[in-house]
């Protein structure tokens, strides 16, 4: 059984990883966006850390997660903030009213987050956004958990899928957001959103950071 304190700890770790990736994300975003992806990630992370510190997980994990999402959005309302807020709200919706969770519910939450982000941002897989790392990760995790694998094994499968997803869109053109306006010059460049998601997962799972492009033949 997974408890609120476990989730709170994971979210804290995730937030710390965003802060640690600040400069890297800014740099990637400067090459194909407006260079603020790290700044807004840091702001959002600090917002959620404050929320977590002030709000220990209560017996309704769903509502508690949705409010965490709003805290992230308030602190960093731009693209990534709206996406993160939506992700947390949709994940929360999956477990509304519950105080403890089964492993499988983690997989369902991740997939709900991915669908939420796609609905909110209107990006599909292949548009070269965070979705390209997140959605395959969610699918891999859910499949592994449905297969009876442990949470850790499933999470590692998710990470591998996320890394592959990140790398699979490096060569294509961004189709959405600011990067879309940069157009063909985005070909060959790494999408900061995918790096953000992979890096977060790596940090949570205590894995070494991988280089973008490392899974490519």
- Interface residues with Mg ion (CB under 5 A)? 29, 33-34, 36-37, 78
Partner in contact with 182, chosen from Mg ion, other proteins, ligand ADP, none, beta carbon below 5 to 8 Å by kind: other proteins
Q: Which of 78, 207, 209, 215 binds ligand ADP (CB under 6 A)?
A: 78
Q: Based on the shown chain and the rule CB under 8 A, indicate whether residue 136 belongs to the binding site for other proteins.
A: no
Query: Interaction with other proteins in 138-157: which residues (CB under 8 A)?
Result: none
Any long-range contacts for 31-36 (C-beta under 8 Å, 24+ apart)?
31/189, 32/174, 32/178, 32/179, 32/182, 32/185, 32/186, 32/189, 32/191, 32/192, 33/177, 33/178, 33/179, 33/182, 33/192, 34/178, 36/78
**Could you say which of Mg ion, other proteins, ligand ADP, none residue 185 binds, taking C-beta under 5 to 8 angstroms by partner kind?**
other proteins
Q: How far is CA 122 from CA 83, 119, 126, 129, 146, in A?
A: 11, 5, 12, 11, 28
Task: For residue 182, state whether it binds other proteins (rule: CB under 8 A).
Answer: yes
Among 17, 73, 114, 194, binds other proteins (CB under 8 A): 73
For other proteins, the closer CB: 24 or 86: 86
List, in order, residues 6 or more apart from 101 with CB less than 8 Å away.
1, 2, 3, 7, 61, 95
Binding positions for ligand ADP, 105-124, rule CB under 6 A: 117, 121-123
Q: Should residue 40 be labelled a site residue for ligand ADP when binding is judged by CB under 6 A?
A: yes
Query: Which residues here bind ligand ADP, judged by CB under 6 A?
Result: 29, 33-34, 36-37, 40, 78-80, 83, 117, 121-123, 129-131, 176-178, 191-193
């Amino acid at each position: 059984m997974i408890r609120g304190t476990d989730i709170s700890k994971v979210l804290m770790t995730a937030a710390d990883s965003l802060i640690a990736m600040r400069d890297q994300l800014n740099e990637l975003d400067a090459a194909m966006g407006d260079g603020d992806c790290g700044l807004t990630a840091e702001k959002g992370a600090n917002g959620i850390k404050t929320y977590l510190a002030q709000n220990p997980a209560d017996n309704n994990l769903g509502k508690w997660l949705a409010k965490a999402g709003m805290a992230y959005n308030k602190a960093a309302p731009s693209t990534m903030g709206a996406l993160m807020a939506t992700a947390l709200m949709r994940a929360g919706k999956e477990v509304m009213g519950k105080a403890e969770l089964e492993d499988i519910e983690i997989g369902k939450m991740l997939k709900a987050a991915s669908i939420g982000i796609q609905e909110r941002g209107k990006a599909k897989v292949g548009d070269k956004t965070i979705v390209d790392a997140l959605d395959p990760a969610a699918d891999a995790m859910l499949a592994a958990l449905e297969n009876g694998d442990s949470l850790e094994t499933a999470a590692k499968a998710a990470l591998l899928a996320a890394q592959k997803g990140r790398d699979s869109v490096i060569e294509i053109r961004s189709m959405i957001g600011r990067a879309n306006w940069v157009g063909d010059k985005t070909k060959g460049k790494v999408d900061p959103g995918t790096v953000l998601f992979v890096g977060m997962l790596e940090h949570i799972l205590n894995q070494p950071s991988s280089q973008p492009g490392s899974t490519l033949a």
